[in-house]
Structure 1
């Protein structure tokens, strides 16, 4: 896929992801606002019902007190006068007053009456004349219209809290609350719920006047606030929040892996093209050399010259060997990459590390004669035995030396040292090459990876060398790492277990 198409697709997917997240955020914000409005409405209705209950209870108390006042004795009763009641149980209850002038009856239905020495849950029906009714109503209204400090004595904090709990529960409001009753006349709280913050109460918008139906305005106001309101509202949307976060996370994760797949596919395509170009060049060079040598051997004059025949025959043999190594390198890499090299069989034997390094250096003798570079060894002890595949170990050090020669802008100077650290053999291969940028160090052991900065891209290779080295070293139970500075050189450090540490 072309780079431009990948960028366009990535841009569209990113915009779509942010668009979905923005829409979801807007919907959640709108839902939260709706929940808050619903909460405010339910609280307002609950406060109105509470104040209404308080006023009815206060009105009933006034009526009952007047009706059963010892000083109030009706002037006369008829034959049927007196109390007629029906006893139901022994619980206390509220009051509801009904006056019917047309039937000359005054009915009182009593509930929650603690002051009267009469059975609760009873219904009294009393026949009174119009004069008595008018006097009674007049006295009751006088008390109801009066505004005095006695109201505070009638307010019961525990009862008010129970009223609030009942009404909030009916309104599906299940969260902690604090309340207080403020007397605006002298700007003080009559009482507050234990633990309530008066500052928060004064700031609260949840309030309702007490006894609003009096002729003279009541100075008392009920105030409520909810300390955990925001958390309660969010909790009511918790399922939506969790599902939204989950779905957006899944989309973002899929998007990330999709983009990563595109980028990786793009890199693999570039690596594949680079590999094909380099392998083609690697094959083309020996094939061309063999072709030229074969044509020369077919010349009659050259065929008579035994010395020249041997020379060109040797060239053909060397180039043929070069092709063989290249093919083996590709096949070996494919085998090593499969299942992390677990299916690759090494022929491990007891081998001295100095023999491995000396054999590796010998393989460069021909190049040392024709090319300008040097290989120095220091501190290579004899008799340090490891268990490994000599052929592949020689190739590991050979790849490091070959890279040190190719990736160098100066006359290559290569140094190899061997030391021992406990039960491990430490081999260091140092060069004065162009070095490796810090950003590339973690990638150089990836299969087919080749650094593409400076003049390195002009160096032919297949990107298999360091990947091969890493896998072979790890299959021997060792580790390989690199220390490098651009334009100063690199040092590859290989750690291998010696035979004494192996069971």
Structure 2
């Protein structure tokens, strides 16, 4: 795939995924905001209903006192109201009056706690008398020349007289009871009962605290933990008069508002987040695999090119040697024939070694390589590996020195394969040394492990290369310069072998200052 097209596809997919995440987040936030608004609306409606219930309850209590003569707390008996509301018709003006000149004094002989209320009640009943008289005059209930339709309308008006009376009483009572202390008008238990009922009716599952304030001053009617500083505080006026004025306010703290709002959307929000995370993880994994496959494809292409180049040279050498041997002059020269045969043998061995490296890696990955392990001294394995490369090092004017500080070096290992591990690391140290290779090998004991450090003073490597140096087929890119031959298999093979020996291999390096490979193996007693 073209690199530009690949980058474009990745960018578009990433943008789409980001957009999906943004939309999901916006949807969750909008849903929470909507639920909060709905919660606030329902809470305010519940408080309004509570306020109405409190006011209606107070009205009904006093209305019952006026209408029920058997009530112990009654201040105006039914007889009082009957005497009060007797009719008097003015024949000259064709008007009917309701007045109350006959007031039964004994109806007001109550306890001292009600004396002031009784005085106010007399004024109150006179006011009602005037308002009812005005209504009767307006409707002309005694009209003599009424049509059938007008009579029906008058009957309907009469059926509404009780409601009219209640409205008048409501207005008058609200003016009368304003002098009564708030704790005598409503109790904490009543408020709590109404709040619980109204909140439950609207499915608002939240605890609450409440308090009544008079012109922003706290009254004695409040719950134990009420606070003005609570963020979820709602207010509603109490005991509103006919003009819409009120000196009292009921304030309620809904202490679990956040939890109540979140509980209504938590399931959908969690599912949305989980599915979005699954999409993100799947996308990240797919993108990682796609990038990895692209890198592997590039590495394999480089490997094939390198392998072709490595095989091309020995094949050409073998062909030249065979052509030379066919020459009659050469075939008679035994020394030349032996030299050419040795060249053919060496090049063939070289190609065989390259093929073996590839096959070893394949078998190791499939766990098909049977490594027979025996007790060996790691120091002996290191010295054996040095013999394979010391001639090359000497030819380049370098050295390899050992510093065996470990007192114990017995390990369970496969001698041939572990020797190849050390040889591969030494071979890399030689290839990546621009000047004469200088290599030092150290061993130390730490608890039940032996550490082998192979240090060189070569070109070193970057942090990025250090992370990938043990990957199969990986080779550091050096532009168009191919002065170092290889297939990126040596260190991958080394890691596989060390892992199979239950050890660890790591590298530390700095560009331009060389590298240090560290092998950690468990000791055996």
| TM-score bucket (shorter structure) | 0.7 to 0.9
Counterparts in 2 of 1:199 and 1:358: CA distance versus 1, 3 Å? closer
For residues 211-241 of structure 1, what are the alpha-carbon distances to aligned partners after superposition, in whole Å with 9 as ceiling and x for unaligned?
3244683322222232332332122111121
In structure 1, what is the equivalent of residue 273 of structure 2? Answer: 245
Shift of 1:407: 0.8
- Show structure 1 runs of 5+ residues with no match: 78-100, 102-130
- 1:22 is matched with which residue? 22
Partner of 2:189: 158
Deviation for aligned residue 1:48: 2.5
1:148 paired residue number: 178
Residue 423 of structure 2: aligned partner? 398
Aligned to 2:219: 189
- Equivalent position to 1:361, from 386, 404, 418: 386
Moved more, 23-32 or 174-183: 23-32
**Count of residue pairs brought into register by the alignment:** 440
Give how far 1:395 is off: 1.3
Matched, 1:232 2:257: no
CA distance in 1, matches of 2:259, 2:170: 47
Residues 20/41 of structure 1: CA separation in 2 closer, same or farther (3 Å cut): same
Separation (CA, whole Å) in 2 of partners of 1:422 and 1:33: 61
Structure 1 residue aligned with 2:119? none
* 2: CA distance, partners of 1:337 / 1:175: 61
Structure 2 match to 1:42: 42
Equivalent in the alignment of 2:299: 271
Q: Could you tell me how far apart the structure 1 residues matched to 2:423 and 2:170 are? A: 115
CA distance in 2, matches of 1:350, 1:432: 32
Aligned partners of 1:146 and 1:216 also within 8 Å: no
TM-superposed CA distance for 1:290, in Å, is 1.0
CA contact (8 A) 2:206 2:257 kept: yes
* Worse overlay, 297-306 or 427-436: 427-436
Residue 26 of structure 1 deviates from its aligned partner by: 2.6
Deviates more, 1:479-488 or 1:206-215: 206-215
Is residue 473 of structure 2 the alignment partner of residue 442 of structure 1?
Answer: no
Distance 1:76 1:392, change over 3 A: closer
* Match among 496, 500, 503 for residue 471 of structure 1: 496
Change (3 A) 1:437 1:456: farther
Residue of 79, 83, 90 corresponding to 1:74:
79
Cα gap change, 1:63/1:382 in structure 2, threshold over 3 Å: closer, same or farther?
Answer: closer
State the 1:444 CA deviation. Answer: 1.4
Q: 1:166 to 1:349 in 2, by over 3 A?
A: closer
Moved over 6 A (4+): 134-141, 380-383
Instruction: Report the CA distance between 1:170 and its aligned residue.
Output: 0.7
Give me the CA root mean square deviation: 3.2
Q: Would you say the 8 A contact 1:354–1:380 is kept in 2?
A: no
Secondary structure of 1:357's match?
Answer: helix
CA drift of 1:317 comes to 0.9
1:198 aligns with 2:228: yes
- Report Cα offsets for 1:227-278 as digits up to 9, x if no partner: 3323321221111211111111111111111111111011111111111111
Q: TM-score, normalised by structure 2?
A: 0.75
- The range that moved more, 357-366 or 238-247, is 357-366
Counterpart mapping for 1:425-440 below 5 A: 425-440=450-465
- Counterpart position of 2:158: none
Q: CA deviation at 1:475?
A: 2.3
The structure that is helix-richer by fraction is 2
Q: Determine whether 1:168 maps to 2:193.
A: no
How much does 1:17 deviate? Answer: 1.2
1:262 aligns with 2:267: no
Q: Distance in 1 between matches of 2:400 and 2:81?
A: 138
Deviations 1:351-379 (A, max 9, x none): 44454334333333553565443333344
C-alpha distance in 2 between matches for 1:214 and 1:318 = 116
Q: 1:345 to 1:209 in 2, by over 3 A?
A: same
CA contact (8 A) 2:472 2:489 kept: yes
- Listed as ranges, the gaps of 5+ residues in structure 2 are 83-97, 99-128, 134-161
Q: Indicate conservation of the 8 Å contact 1:147/1:218, yes or no.
A: no
| Structure 2 match to 1:287 | 315
- Checking the alignment, whether the CA contact within 8 Å between 1:415 and 1:429 is kept in structure 2 is yes
Assess if the C-alpha contact under 8 Å between 1:354 and 1:382 holds in 2. Answer: no
Contact persistence 1:200–1:225 (CA under 8 A): yes
1:223 aligned counterpart, secondary structure? strand
- Structure 1 residues 73, 429: closer, same or farther in 2, change over 3 A? closer
SS of aligned partner of 2:250: strand
Question: What is the deviation of 1:318?
Answer: 0.9
Q: For the residues of structure 1 that align with 2:496 and 2:51, how far apart are their CA atoms? A: 83
